[in-house]
Amino acid sequence: MKYRHTLRQTQNLGGLWDFAFLETGSLDDFTPDAFTPDDRVLVPGAFDVLQKYAGKRGLGVYRTTICVPEGMRGVLLFEAVSMGSRVWVDGKMLHANGCGYAPFAVELPDGPEKRELVVVTDNRFDFEARPMHDTYFDFYQYGGIIRVVTLLLLPEGKPCVKTLHLTPDEKDYAKGVVHLDLALCCADAFKPQLRLSICGQPVEDALPDFDAEGHLRCTLTVKDPKVWSPDAPNLHCCRVELLDEDGEAYDDAGTRFGLRRIEARDGKLFLNGEELELRGYNRHEWCPMTGPSTPVAQMYEDIRLMREMGCNFVRGSHYHQDQQFLDLCDEMGMLVWEENLGWGQREKTFKHPAFAGEHLTALKSMVEISFNHPSIIMWGFLNEADSHKDYARAVFEESAKTLKAMDPSRLVTYATMFPEEDIMYDLVDLISVNSYPGWYGCENVKDPLSLIAPRFEEILKSIDERGFADKPVIISETGAEALYGWREPHNDFFSEAYQAKYLAEACRAVFAHSRISGVALWHFSDVRTYGGGHSLMRPRTYNNKGTFDEYRRPKQAHEAVSEAFRGR
Ligand code: ADA
């Protein structure tokens, strides 16, 4: 069961909003008084998945009305608004955002009960203004309010719960020992008392007071603890209530959590003390009808399909995951790699004066929002960036340090495409390598599949020789394209048969190697990319390396991978 607030009021602002698409103008120049809506669109949703706006780039302006009753404080929570955006309330610009997948909150100033909310989104690439996005990323970047928007109504002038994080104890997680970290906003009004319950049972242990900054940290023991694992995804629930000077409860918050431990040691991965082998896929949050705003029923089906194939792992490539997807992974026992938005950043990006700061803000927002999901076992960042170049070092260092400081209980990694020249391995717990032997650059190779195992061997040898034999290694991407339905006697590139043989051989090579702790195949289903640098290598402007096509119709590789994964 998911936690539902009983005191705190939250309103899902989903539904039809007024809308206008403007081909000209910029986020900087825009003011709501110069805007006349001529359409209504659904929130959440990307406006450019609609046929009318398909392929168009410009400003997508959204408008709705919100109500903040007297005596209440309003906070807007946006889970993802793509790509750049500005939030205006009653003609005042309150927030600017430059990362289309990062969640953010907007505190509403005092004002009348009824307010006009305008959200301006820009789906044009503007590297100078928004260095988190670039044209060459190999996935379509849409525009609009692509994930849930919530209005939170809190009692005015009273301290309220800002964050509630639970971390299972490293040693005694199986005995139910967890560390609670609770932070308040408006902490200086007064010090509230705290009432706590776990799975509906009041916690009777003496609790410390909030400190001057409104922080409370304590250790609790769950009664009747049950460990979380892919085979037994047991969840527990924690509820906190804040009480005022008269002992009246006025705010509450709750979360689910799981008791489990992930470790990287002696060159291996361990979950709950047992060696862990990862078998899974990379997955973009995407389907043809709704683009990046995948319906939850599709998320559920995707996880089911993966579980039925014997997967225990999904890499959420290449950005913050939808909270609904993570909730399902918690419940359905899928281990998750969640990573910050990023794709192949090069010197130009690392030298952009705003990039390091924006990258860090987005990274922190990911950990904040996803902290309590037991399914997440590792945090990632900077997919296939220049991890072999000195100029990238500062951002890699800062990212790894920040993740460890915010959450020492999970592993830190990034996917490298320069396994031999990489200079960042010292920063991470787990080395993750993207490698496509037998696919890219194999135009004139006679037996491309024979390249896979030797290439993995070469990579592992070089990692160990360079002194990283104590770090576990996974293949975080490998794969080949197949066009759904392309079955013909040559079984050549782009045929379903070649892809099936490719993935079978890649899995065989991974599982035969004692130094490789698992694989995330590229990719779960075919996914739209666009006419950037990739279009001519991408028939249909799709990345066709899915084991399923975009409608989740299985290709021949489905059987090959199921055979390789099941029963291991
Ligand atoms: C990279 C990248 C993926 C995808 C893949 C491919 O490894 O991380 O997003 O583009 O290559 O299909 O080539």
Q: Is 383 in the pocket of ligand 1 (CB under 6 A)?
A: yes
Mean pLDDT of 102-126: 97
pLDDT confidence bin for 531, thresholds 50/70/90: low
Q: Is 429 in the pocket of ligand 1 (CB under 6 A)?
A: no
Residue 205 has pLDDT above 90, yes or no: no
- Best residue among 345, 434, 439, 493 to mutate for probing ligand 1's pocket (most ligand atoms within 8 Å of CB) is 434
CB atoms within 10 A of CB 328: 18
pLDDT confidence bin for 502, thresholds 50/70/90: very high
| Structure confidence at residue 304 (pLDDT) | 98
pLDDT in tens, 265-293: 999 999 999 999 999 999 999 999 999 99
Distance CA 13, CA 509 (A): 49
Mean pLDDT of 203-216: 90
Q: Which residue's CA lies nearest to atom 3 of ligand 1? A: 138
Question: For the chain, what percentages of helix, strand and coil (3-state, to nearest 5) are there?
Answer: 20, 30, 45
CATH of 276-566, one of 3.40.960.10, 3.20.20.110, 3.30.565.10, 3.20.20.80: 3.20.20.80
| Structure confidence at residue 126 (pLDDT) | 97
Distance CA 24, CA 56 (A): 11
- Topology match between the domains 9-155 and 160-257: no
Q: How far is the CA of 185 from the centre of ligand 1 (A)?
A: 41
Q: How far is the CA of 49 from the centre of ligand 1 (A)?
A: 23
| Structure confidence at residue 523 (pLDDT) | 98
pLDDT in tens, 319-377: 999 999 999 999 999 999 999 999 999 999 999 999 999 999 999 999 999 999 999 99
User: What percent of the chain is predicted at pLDDT more than 70?
Assistant: 99
pLDDT confidence bin for 431, thresholds 50/70/90: very high
Q: Is 167 in the pocket of ligand 1 (CB under 6 A)?
A: no
pLDDT in tens, 444-469: 999 999 999 999 999 999 999 999 99
Residue 74 tokens read as 């309003």
pLDDT confidence bin for 187, thresholds 50/70/90: confident
CATH architecture classification, 160-257:
Sandwich (2.60)
| Structure confidence at residue 85 (pLDDT) | 98
Mean pLDDT of 47-59: 97
Q: How far is the CA of 457 from the centre of ligand 1 (A)?
A: 21
What is the domain partition of the chain in residue ranges? Answer: 9-155, 160-257, 276-566
Residues in the chain: 568
Give, in degrees to the nearest 5, the angle at Cα 376 between 150 and 392: 95
Q: Is 302 in the pocket of ligand 1 (CB under 6 A)?
A: no
Residue 103 has pLDDT above 90, yes or no: yes
| Structure confidence at residue 532 (pLDDT) | 62
pLDDT confidence bin for 533, thresholds 50/70/90: low
* Coil, helix or strand at residue 125: coil
* Coil, helix or strand at residue 489: coil
Mean pLDDT of 231-257: 96
- Best residue among 522, 523, 541 to mutate for probing ligand 1's pocket (most ligand atoms within 8 Å of CB) is 522
| Structure confidence at residue 530 (pLDDT) | 78
CATH architecture classification, 9-155:
Sandwich (2.60)
Atom of ligand 1 nearest to the CA of 534: 10
Q: Is 384 in the pocket of ligand 1 (CB under 6 A)?
A: yes
CB atoms within 10 A of CB 361: 16
pLDDT confidence bin for 4, thresholds 50/70/90: confident
| Structure confidence at residue 64 (pLDDT) | 98
pLDDT confidence bin for 537, thresholds 50/70/90: confident
Residue 534 has pLDDT above 80, yes or no: no
Q: Is 545 in the pocket of ligand 1 (CB under 6 A)?
A: yes
Q: Is 439 in the pocket of ligand 1 (CB under 6 A)?
A: no
pLDDT in tens, 127-161: 999 999 999 999 999 999 999 999 999 999 999 99
Q: Is 481 in the pocket of ligand 1 (CB under 6 A)?
A: no
Instruction: Encode 234-256: b = buried (16+ Cβ within 10 Å), e = exposed.
Output: ebbbbbbbbebeeeeebbbbbbb
> Are 504 and 561 in contact, with CB atoms under 8 Å apart?
yes
Q: How far is the CA of 138 from the centre of ligand 1 (A)?
A: 7
Mean pLDDT (the chain) is 96
Residue 196, CB half-sphere, CA atoms under 13 Å: how many?
24
Q: How far is the CA of 236 from the centre of ligand 1 (A)?
A: 37
- Best residue among 477, 503, 519, 540 to mutate for probing ligand 1's pocket (most ligand atoms within 8 Å of CB) is 477
